[in-house]
Amino acid sequence: MVIALLGLVAWYLGWQRARSFAPAGGVMNRMPALPSQHASFLMLCTIVPALLVAAAWPSVSSRLVMRSVMMLPAAKNLPASPMDRDSVLSEAAGLADGSIEGAFNPLSYELAKPIAEVSHFYTLTGAVLLVALALVGFAIGYFRLKPSFKARQKVEGVVMLCLMLASLVALITTFGIVASLIFETGRFFTHVSVTEFLFSTHWSPASDVVASENNGFGAVPLFWGTIFIGAIIAMIVAIPIGVMAAIYLTQYAPRSLRAWLKPALEILAGIPTVVYGYFAALTLAPVVRNWALALGMADAPSESALAAGLVMGVMIIPLISSMSDDSIAAVPSAMRDGALALGSTKSETIRKVLIPAALPGIVGGVLLAVSRAIGETMIVVMAAGMAANMTINPFQSVTTVTTQIVQLLTGDQEFDSAKTLSAFALGLVLFIVTFILNVIAIMVVKRYREAYE
């Protein structure tokens, strides 16, 4: 708040000063920068150092507070082990800033008051430091303003720096994902062997891990369940419907109908997955169970691969349909006209010319759809079940990688247990597989687009 105010004041003063450079009668165009650019320069000089301090100060000051508290006489009574000491100190800090009402440890009450005093002192120090820095920055900037000063170049340099930093966020995020997944997975594999994780077919994670023994971390049933639901059942539903819908919309539907149907398909794509999951669990699962009973499966479970897969297929339809739509539209009309001129009927043209020509684009879309489906979480969490079965019976309950990640991480376990860490190993596998699928899909679609341009 204060910084913003200071910045505004600086901007105004800089503007005034730059205006005063202009000769009376006001011909500005001899100066290399406009008054507003001088003003922006001065504002940046004022607020950037202050902002940096403001961002760093809380962590610095909390460390300073803790150090001075440790020197108090009362701190002598603190428990020796670092973990107990930290818990008492954090309780005391909570009491001091009023975020907690009562403390567990009596010592916390004793420490709360000094902590409040000390942190008050450091907050004040920080504020003073901040204002001082802003003033120093302002002074330096102010005296650099001259009619010949190239304020624009300086300001634009800062803008370019911001742009470059923003574009690095994507890289940092990707790096953060890879680093955190690999780090936690590495810790997991100190408890459980890689071969057990990747090749064993027994999944029932044990809380207490015994080294060199099978601890129920065999992820093969999860991989199978994921593929079964996401890449087989969902695709059997989504590919024919999606591709045929795209063909109908681009080739047959009258323009007015198309104008209504395309947004309707987009609505299907915009429905949150938790809604699909609820629909699968509440409406479709009982129906599927009745089918199974009718087919003579006596112990049909209420959660099944089929219910989850069907709904996931419906969710995927718009994705496949819009990718197919794009790639069919990208086929040069000369090819279509040529086929029609040779006497093929409309459907022959579509089946023998348009679809083969658009196939790379459609395949790219299907790959993206598979990547979406195997990473999809809420539908399978709500409808597929928890039992790690290796079955090809769609009426059986299966479990998937994403279901187990949610299952493992939403309980109240210790963060360091092998059970929790295994979620990160599953996440890493999921990330690698979807990454490969995405990259292939992006490459296929890109190359295909270039072929017709």
* Residues from 157 through 176 that contact another protein (CB under 8 A): 159-160, 162-164, 166-171, 173-174, 176
Q: Would you state the structure tokens that stand for residue 122, as one six-digit string? A: 């450091």
Selection from 439, 445, 437 nearest residue 364 by Cα: 445
Residue type present at position 299? D
> What is the closest distance, in whole angstroms, from the C-beta atom of residue 416 to another protein in the complex?
10
Q: Would you state the structure tokens that stand for residue 279, as one six-digit string? A: 């629909």
Q: Which of 351, 352, 356, 451 binds another protein (CB under 8 A)?
A: 351
Q: Which of 36, 434, 440, 449 binds another protein (CB under 8 A)?
A: 434
Query: 277 to 316, contacts with another protein by CB under 8 A?
Result: 277-279, 281-283, 314
Q: Would you state the structure tokens that stand for residue 356, as one six-digit string? A: 């083969």
> What is the closest distance, in whole angstroms, from the C-beta atom of residue 249 to another protein in the complex?
7
> What is the closest distance, in whole angstroms, from the C-beta atom of residue 184 to another protein in the complex?
6
| 247 part of the interface to another protein, by CB under 8 A | yes
| 448 part of the interface to another protein, by CB under 8 A | no
CA dihedral 225, 230, 231, 235 (to 10 degrees): 140
> What is the closest distance, in whole angstroms, from the C-beta atom of residue 131 to another protein in the complex?
26
> What is the closest distance, in whole angstroms, from the C-beta atom of residue 76 to another protein in the complex?
27
Q: Would you state the structure tokens that stand for residue 412, as one six-digit string? A: 């109240």
Selection from 57, 104, 59, 56 nearest residue 112 by Cα: 104
**Comparison of 144 and 262: residue with beta carbon closer to another protein:** 262
Q: Would you state the structure tokens that stand for residue 384, as one six-digit string? A: 């597929």
> What is the closest distance, in whole angstroms, from the C-beta atom of residue 199 to another protein in the complex?
23
Interface with another protein by CB under 8 A: which range of 11-19, 270-278, 295-303, 390-398? 270-278
> What is the closest distance, in whole angstroms, from the C-beta atom of residue 298 to another protein in the complex?
25
97 class by beta-carbon count within 10 Å (0-12 exposed, 13-18 middle, 19+ buried): exposed
**Comparison of 107 and 437: residue with beta carbon closer to another protein:** 437
Query: 362 to 401, contacts with another protein by CB under 8 A?
Result: 368, 371-372, 374-378, 381-382
CA-CA distance, 427 to 447, in Å (whole number)? 30
Interface with another protein by CB under 8 A: which range of 110-118, 211-219, 285-293, 339-347? 339-347
Q: Which of 66, 253, 359, 390 binds another protein (CB under 8 A)?
A: 253
Interface with another protein by CB under 8 A: which range of 19-27, 274-282, 289-297, 388-396? 274-282
Q: What is the DSSP letter of 298?
A: T
> What is the closest distance, in whole angstroms, from the C-beta atom of residue 428 to another protein in the complex?
9
> What is the closest distance, in whole angstroms, from the C-beta atom of residue 34 to another protein in the complex?
10
CA dihedral 329, 333, 339, 342 (to 10 degrees): 160
| 177 part of the interface to another protein, by CB under 8 A | yes
Contact in structure between 397 and 384 (CB atoms under 8 Å):
yes
> What is the closest distance, in whole angstroms, from the C-beta atom of residue 376 to another protein in the complex?
7
Output b/e per residue, 28-41; b: 16+ Cβ within 10 A. Answer: eeebebebbbbbbb
Query: 223 to 242, contacts with another protein by CB under 8 A?
Result: 240-242
Chain position carrying tokens 């039992």? 387
Q: Which of 273, 393, 413, 417 binds another protein (CB under 8 A)?
A: 273
Q: Provide the 3-class DSSP secondary structure of residue 217.
A: strand
420 Cβ contact list (under 8 Å, min separation 6)? 408, 409, 413, 414
| 249 part of the interface to another protein, by CB under 8 A | yes
**Comparison of 139 and 160: residue with beta carbon closer to another protein:** 160
Selection from 146, 130, 189, 187 nearest residue 41 by Cα: 146
> What is the closest distance, in whole angstroms, from the C-beta atom of residue 139 to another protein in the complex?
27
Contact in structure between 140 and 14 (CB atoms under 8 Å):
no
CA-CA distance, 306 to 234, in Å (whole number)? 9
Q: Would you state the structure tokens that stand for residue 59, as one six-digit string? A: 């962590």
Length of the chain (residues): 453
Size of the site for another protein (CB under 8 A): 89
Q: Which of 119, 215, 399, 402 binds another protein (CB under 8 A)?
A: 402
| 268 part of the interface to another protein, by CB under 8 A | yes
Q: What is the DSSP letter of 147?
A: T
Query: 107 to 166, contacts with another protein by CB under 8 A?
Result: 152, 156, 159-160, 162-164, 166
